Amino acid sequence: GVPGAGKSTSIDTFGMHLVKQGRRLAVLAIDPSSERSGGSILGDKTRMEQLSREKNAFIRPSPSAGSLGGVARKTRETIVLCEAAGFDTIFVETVGVGQSETAVHSMVDFFLLIQLAGTGDELQGIKRGIMEMADAIVINKADGDNIDKANLAATHFRNALHLFPPTESGWRPKVLTYSGFYGLGIKEIWDMVDEYRHFATDSGYFEEKRQRQTKWWMYESINEALKNSFYQSEAIRSLRPEVESDILSDRLSSFVGAQRLLDAYFKSLK
Ligand code: GDP
> Per-residue pLDDT tens for 235-255?
999 999 999 999 999 999 999
The CATH number of the domain where 240 resides is what?
A: 1.10.287
Q: What is the pLDDT of residue 72?
A: 82
Q: Do 64 and 160 lie in a common domain?
A: yes
In a domain, 210, yes or no: no
Residue nearest atom 7 of ligand 1, based on CA coordinates: 6
Average pLDDT over residues 167-173: 92
Q: What is the pLDDT of residues 34-65, one digit of tens each?
A: 444 444 455 454 678 899 999 999 998 766 55
Q: What is the pLDDT of residue 74?
A: 85
Q: Do 171 and 224 lie in a common domain?
A: no
Q: Do 150 and 250 lie in a common domain?
A: no
Q: For residue 7, how far is its CA from the centre of ligand 1 (angstroms)?
A: 7
Q: Do 108 and 191 lie in a common domain?
A: yes
| For the CA of 47, the nearest atom of ligand 1 | 8
Q: Do 174 and 227 lie in a common domain?
A: no
Q: What is the pLDDT of residue 98?
A: 61
Shortest CA distance to 141 belongs to which of 179, 115, 187, 189? 179
Q: Do 24 and 86 lie in a common domain?
A: yes
* Residue 124 reports pLDDT greater than 60: no
Query: Which residues span the domain enclosing 221?
Result: 216-269
Residue nearest atom 17 of ligand 1, based on CA coordinates: 6
Ligand 1: which of 91, 94, 181 to mutate, most ligand atoms within 8 Å of CB? Answer: 181
Q: What is the pLDDT of residue 31?
A: 66
In which region does residue 28 sit, left (phi positive, over 0), alpha (psi from -120 to 50) or beta (all else)? beta
Residue nearest atom 27 of ligand 1, based on CA coordinates: 141
Among 174, 205, 236, identify where a domain stops: 205
In a domain, 2, yes or no: no
Cα–Cα dist 66/72, whole Å: 10
- Sheet of strand 136-140, all strands in order from the earlier edge strand to the far edge: 112-116, 136-140, 174-177
Give the number of domains in the chain. Answer: 2
